[in-house]
Structure 1
Amino acid sequence: MPESVSAAGSADTVWSARLHELWRAAQDIDDVAQMSRYVYGLMLAEPGVVAVAGTRWNGRALTYVRSAVPGQPTRTTVAPPSGGAVAGPGRVSPPPGGAGTAGSSLTVCTHDLTVSGEDFDPERAVLAGAGAGYAVECRFGLGGSDWAAFSVGVADRAAADPGLVLRLSQLSEVLVASNQRIVEYRAHERRQTEDAFLAEASLQMDSSLDVQETLGRVARLAVPAVAEGCVVHLFQPDGALVPVASAHVAAEAQPWLSRVSGDDPWFAEFLRLALEKRESVVQECGAFTEGPFGPRAEGFGGRVRALSVSPLSARGKALGTLTFIYHRRSDEVAGLRVLDDLARRAALAIDTTTAYEQRRRHVEQLQHHLLPGALPDWPGLELGAAYQVADSSLEVGGDFYDAVVRADGGLALFVGDVCGRGAEAAALTGLARHTLRTLLEDGTAPAPALKRLNATLAAQSATRFVTALVAVLTHDGDGCLMEVASAGHPRPLVQRADGGTEDVAVGGMLLGVVPEIVAEPVAVRLGPGDTVVMFTDGLTEARSEEGVMFEGLLPDAVRRCGPSSGDMAERLIAMASDFRTTGDDDIAVLVAHVKGTR
């Protein structure tokens, strides 16, 4: 075998081994620039190579120059932020096959450094200064507008043989593949981070059903994670776009942001134009010649580098806009995927809480109409009542109470409870209350009134049962006579003037279950200072963490409230609420206190 062939084979073997080591090293780096100490050393070991240079570009602007010559440390010159060198017409991101794409096709060029006029700066000066007469350059894309060039300088054209070109291409392919892995890994990490943020944002926004709290969270959760400032605008019934929440990483900037978002006509027009595009819009502020943002603005606005506006829409409704204000670099601005996704989640949270708030108001209005607007005045008696909605399901409860002066001058009191919640319960509540009110107002006694109500419910084929307690009071000397009848309802309590308490032993059958019921009335005399307490089972069935019911504590609670109706109803409900850890039934309490001689 000729000696030259043997030497060439040995060189190829060494090169293959070194290239393999380079592939292994490429698996452990997190920036392709870290490969320079490997690839520069490999190329400097090639026969005839007198210098190596590498450049990194962002579009046509130079990022840095790195060079090496045998026996000397690698030198790196970073281009100034203002721009540094700019690539000429001949120096562009890799041409055919994927300009600007990570892993795009390699482009190999040969340069005669002895001939001026060819655009090959800044490598020309670096390589020629080291004694190179010719150069072989390989360009490749790194993703987006980022690209790089790797060049070797040789003393004469003969050294720039096909073998050198091949090896330079192979090294460049390793760099491209390594960078492709890094780009994909970073994109995966960034997407994981973004998805984690979006998931946490949903949890934060969905954790409250209060409109103002939700709006505040939408503004605050993205500052400074997404941007330095955030403003939420919502459409009002008249079509106006009004700011409803804002946040800024700098507390002293908050007044400025609130003023700009609410009063600046330029900003209002910017939002209008952005909304017309119906998707997230990112706008750098460097080119703004007017308005409250960008280099020409004063104060905090002059620091703003970019704005993004995302439309808020949910369930086919346009709700408003989500605006982010960035002081950070443009390459740190969130991508459109994140902005669109965050706006979609925010819009759903806002629409849900708004709908909840509207429904809550409707339920409150309906519940209000199912209860008396005011209790009547009746000589010698003081009345008090309270009602608490304990359930958060936005369904109308079935508890009710009322007091009515009868045609014969007596006073009728009643409380009741319809099983369950919702529209059907509300309908039966209204039916039961108004039926009892009409019957008692016309002079019907408690037991017959309950039987008549049962017949009415039976005629309606009601699927829910009803409990009720009726008491009719008439004057008797300096006190009152009370006739009580019950239909499956908790017994009332009587607190005597001396502080003792007793329940009224009255019972009866549930309403709406069987065609006819038995209701036996009980008579009780109330003297001056006595108080009668009527309530629904939500009061007695409130349970502690140990499972103890409030029913056993009720007599003592009544005693602690004192011998007067006053605020007893509210205080009893408050005591039960403080005691309760389980149970979500509504509570109605009606209290009548005998003041004494009329």
Structure 2
Amino acid sequence: MTTANSRIDGIDASWPARLHSLWLAAQDVENVEEMARHVYAAMLAEDDVLAVTGSRWEGDRLRYLRVATTARSTTTTTTGAGTAAGRPVPPPEPGRAAARPLVHHHDLDAGTEGFAPEGRALAEAGAHFALESRFRLGENDWASYSVGLAERPRDAAVLTAMTARLVQLSEVLVASNRRIVEAREHERRLIEDAFLAEASLQMDASLDVQETLSRVARLAVPAVAEGCAVHLFADLGGLAPVASAHVAADVQPWLADLARDDPWFADLVDRAVRSGECVVLSGEELDGAPFGPHTDGPGQPVNAVSVSPLRARGKALGTLTFIYHRGEDAVAGTRLLDNLARRAALAIDTTTAYEQRRRHVEQLQRHLLPNALPVWPSADLYAAYEVADDSLEVGGDFYDAVVDRDGRLAVVIGDVCGRGAEAAALTGLARHTLRTLLEDGVLPELALQRLNTILLDQGTTRFVTALVAVLTPDGGGACLARVAAAGHPSPLVRRKDGLVEEVRVTGLFLGVLPDTDLQPTSLRLEAGDSLVMFTDGLTEARSASGVFFEDHLPEAVRDCVVEEPETAAGLVARMSAFRATGSDDTAVLVAHVKGTAG
């Protein structure tokens, strides 16, 4: 054995220098196999070393064996055939991964019992004596690094030096493996964190419940697994499937059916909910399941299943199930699964709460509007209402129509400043007050003045705008209209020939000053004419260039307000297509004179 100098790749170097070079290499290599080649070369440069072996074990199962000889030829054998004959479990015991490598001496002429298959490989290379270093790389992951010599060294100092060098090289391998594992773990976490960040963006991009559920299922396939199913608690308390996805489109119906009807699947998701922890099943744990090699069809290639409970804001929402066709080693870790489930649960809970509140707002908004407009012989009524604000607060726009005790038609449109509970309360007060007064035949301006007094008595900090018109048939098919407005946009009249006129009417806001200075006006509506009333959400809608829809309103009224049922809705649709900015609700009420004699 050389004790002073050796040659490695044509460079003379002492053992300390070579060992230093190996430690430097250990900081740069990307995998253990690459590091092993450096270590093999270091020992093969020693005199009397005929061959080197490296083996990797999982418990007593051989994962692979590599053999390098002085001829610089390398053979790699990978196997999962189970326990090698006579192979003992190596010290140190599990849990002592930090302990130093232990070196064993083997007389190969006496056989390779307890040293297979490395001993056979070294003997085949001509070795009669071997030194073996065993060291742990993980809890159940260990390796063996061995060198084969032509004969046992006669000098005890040489054997001791060889043993020390074997320990040092083993420590280099352990350190290199640790760095590689940590680097891969760091890279994996970076990839997982990037995926989780993108998943959050995708799931938070919609406030629609079904779209969010679909996104949860789709974004994880195939990034996390080949299949995914989402179960949520139904109104009656049981878990029900709400979304599923599979990388193979023709397999999706199968997965959806399993998620809905399979008893084993139902028991598994119930188990995850009860435990409150992620459940991962593979191998024999899938016995009795519709998955695994003992099944037929799409379930056969499934190697593992994971179920994560969905919890958000202290509530159990359901479960997130993944179906894996990939190998067990590729199953997502609990860190990723738990993080993804937590983010999915938060997105689902947020969208569900939003949807529930939206429904409540819509119900309340409907209560602030009439269920139906009255049928009146002399005119047809059309109304449309669009909520433009997404703040989930009740708006203040309202409209109504009543036939008074004398058979006249009173139409009302108004707007309460702001949104929310107080605006909703004032909307209800304003609408029902005007409705009661107008049913009794009170003139428009007097009805508005009475409402103003009531609002002042309420001490509200909000103001109300309103427009009231009372139509009276003249007996010849036309109608006489008396119009009063309190701070509200003036109505338009579309004549039968398409001419659009503004009805000049003025007055101050309601609920601000005792004197509203209302200036009512009267006009005649011939058969085929239409009175168009609206809130400022229509006029103040802006295009991308900043132009108000008010500038286009006469043209839109001329085009849209015709003798068709979609009169008001068509006008609102024209505005919506025009609007790029503006978030105010819009109400439109149209009275079209039919020409029927009263």
Q: Which moved more, 1:234-243 or 1:155-164?
A: 155-164
Q: Report if aligned partners of 1:565, 1:593 keep a CA contact under 8 Å in 2.
A: no
Q: What does the per-residue CA deviation read over 1:287-308, in whole Å, with 9 as the maximum and x for residues that have no partner?
A: 4332211121111111110000
Cα drift, residue 477 of structure 1: 3.0
1:378/1:206 Cα in 2 relative to 1: closer, same or farther (>3 Å)? same
Task: Specify the SS of the correspondent of 2:286.
Answer: coil
Which one-letter code corresponds to 2:140 in the other structure?
S
Partner of 1:164: 162
Give the match's secondary structure for 1:508. coil
Amino acid at match of 1:498: D
Which residue in the other structure is 1:209 paired with?
Answer: 207
Map residues 167-246 of structure 1 onto 2, 5 A cutoff: 167-246=165-244
1:484 is the counterpart of 2:483: yes
Q: Note closer, same or farther for the CA distance 1:435–1:10 as it changes in structure 2 (3 Å cut).
A: same
In structure 1, the partner of 2:502 is 503
TM-fit CA distance, 1:121 = 0.4
How far the C-alpha of 1:146 sits from its partner, in A, is 2.6
CA offset at residue 361 of structure 1? 0.9
8 Å contact kept, 1:313–1:344: yes
Once the two structures are TM-superposed, the CA of residue 470 in structure 1 deviates from its matched residue by: 0.7
Residue 359 of structure 2 corresponds to 361
Q: Are the equivalent residues in 1 in contact too, given 2:86–2:113 (CA < 8 A)?
A: no
Q: 1:73 maps to what in 2?
A: 73
Q: Could you say which residue in structure 2 is the equivalent of 1:95?
A: 92
AA in 1 matched with 2:586:
I
Partners of 2:489 and 2:86 lie apart in 1 by 93
Measured at CA, do residues 433 and 94 of structure 1 come closer, stay the same or move farther in structure 2, by a change above 3 Å? farther
For 2:95 and 2:288, the matched residues in 1 are separated by: 38
Matched, 1:120 2:115: yes
Determine if the alignment matches structure 1 residue 132 to structure 2 residue 127: yes
Task: Confirm or deny: 8 A CA contact 2:94 2:139 kept in the other structure.
Answer: no
Question: Aligned residue for 1:439?
Answer: 437
Give the aligned CA root-mean-square deviation in angstroms: 2.0
How many pairs align? 588
Question: Could you say which residue in structure 2 is the equivalent of 1:329?
Answer: 327
Q: Deviation of residue 527 (structure 1)? A: 1.6
The superposition leaves residues 85-118 of structure 1 with CA deviations (integer Å, 9 ceiling, x where unpaired) of 524675325414745x4x6532222223233474
Structure 1, unaligned runs of 5 or more: none
- Note the alpha carbon deviations across 1:199-232, whole angstroms, 9 max, x for none: 1111111101111111111111100000000000
Aligned residues of 1:565 and 1:591 also touching (Cα < 8 A): no
Please give the secondary structure, in 1, of the residue aligned with 2:482: strand
The whole-number CA distance in structure 1 between the counterparts of 2:319 and 2:209 is 16
Residue 545 of structure 2 is matched in structure 1 by 546
Residue 187 of structure 1, CA deviation = 0.3
Residue of structure 1 equivalent to 2:61: 61
1:97·1:104 contact (CA, 8 Å) conserved in 2? no
Task: Establish whether residue 86 from structure 1 lines up as the match of residue 102 from structure 2.
Answer: no
What amino acid sits opposite 2:552 in the alignment?
L
| TM-aligned CA deviation for residue 374 of structure 1 | 0.8
Map of 1:583 onto structure 2 = 582
In structure 2, the residue corresponding to 1:303 is in which secondary structure? coil
- Contact 2:561-2:568 within 8 A present in 1 as well: no
Secondary structure at 1:524 match in 2: strand
Shift of 1:508: 0.5
Q: 1:453 to 1:150 in 2, by over 3 A?
A: same
Higher mean C-alpha deviation, range 52-61 or range 41-50:
41-50
- Aligned 8 A contact 1:98 1:105 in 2: no
Q: Deviations over 1:418-464 (max 9, x none)?
A: 11111111111001000111111111111111111111111111111
**Cα deviations across residues 494-533 of structure 1 (Å, max 9, x unaligned)?**
1122221111110110111123321121111112221110
Residues 213 and 104 of structure 1, relative CA distance in 2, 3 Å threshold? farther
Aligned to 2:33: 33
Q: Give, in whole Å, the separation in 2 of the partners of 1:177 and 1:93.
A: 19
8 Å Cα contact 2:410-2:470 kept in structure 1: yes
1:301 to 299, 302, 306: 299
**Residue deviations 1:361-392, cap 9 Å, x none?**
11111010100111112221111111111111
* TM-score of the superposed pair, with normalisation by structure 1: 0.94
> Which stretches of structure 1, 4 residues or more, deviate above 6 A after TM superposition?
none
> What are the residue-to-residue correspondences of 1:398-417 with 2, within 5 Å?
398-417=396-415
Distance 2:442 2:207 in 1: 46
Inter-partner Cα distance in structure 2 for 1:358 and 1:562: 35
The sequence identity of aligned pairs, in percent, is 62
Distance 1:50 1:8 in 2: 17
Question: For 2:469 and 2:375, how far apart are their aligned partners in 1?
Answer: 16
Change in CA separation of 1:215 and 1:500 when aligned onto 2, cut-off 3 Å: same
CA contact (8 A) 2:416 2:465 kept: yes
Pair 1:433–1:107, CA change in 2 (3 A): same
**Superposed displacement of residue 270, structure 1:** 2.0
How many angstroms does 1:413 deviate by?
0.8
2:231–2:242 CA contact under 8 A, matched in 1: yes
2:454 to 453, 456, 460: 456
Native 8 Å contact 2:398 2:587 kept in 1: yes
Query: Which AA in structure 2 matches 1:152?
Result: V
Indicate how the Cα distance of structure 1 residues 287 and 428 shifts in structure 2: closer, same or farther if over 3 A, else same.
Answer: closer
Instruction: Check 1:58–1:337 CA distance in 2 against 1; reply closer, same or farther (3 A cut).
Output: same
User: Match of 1:545, SS?
Assistant: coil
Write the distance in 1 (CA, Å) between the matches of 2:45 and 2:360.
83
Verify the 8 A CA contact 1:403 1:411 in the aligned structure 2: yes
Change over 3 Å in CA distance of 1:562–1:440 after alignment to 2: closer
Q: 1:563 to 1:181 in 2, by over 3 A?
A: closer
Alpha-carbon displacement from aligned partner over 1:463-483 (angstroms, at most 9, x marks no partner)? 111100011111213211111
